[in-house]
Amino acid sequence: MSLPEFLHEAEKGMSMKSSDMSEEHILRYTDLAAAIQFAKANDLTTREIVRELTRGMIYSDALKYAKRAAPLLDLNVLEFMRLRKNE
């Protein structure tokens, strides 16, 4: 199961009033550490995890998110943001 599929399953399992939640909102309510642990267990690379977690985010939002997620991936914020780039 990929990280997006995991997030989709998390959305289905949540008892929220809105059934039309975006992936960004799902990430807000999904335990970030659990999502990262799940992704690592499914052999996603750190780059793939970073790209999936920040897909569709503008730079400023991704930077805020990096401050929370980077330590969980044993990265600093700068490294997290570099991995996010299309190179």
pLDDT at 67: 94
Mean pLDDT value across residues 54-72 = 93
List pLDDT tens digits, range 9-55. 655 554 444 444 555 555 555 688 888 988 899 899 999 999 998 99
- 3-state helix/strand/coil string of 4-60: HHHHHHHHHHCCCCCCCCCHHHHHHHCCHHHHHHHHHHCCCCHHHHHHHHCCCCCHH
Domain count across the chain: 1
pLDDT at 34: 87
pTM: 0.66
Range of the domain at 57: 3-84
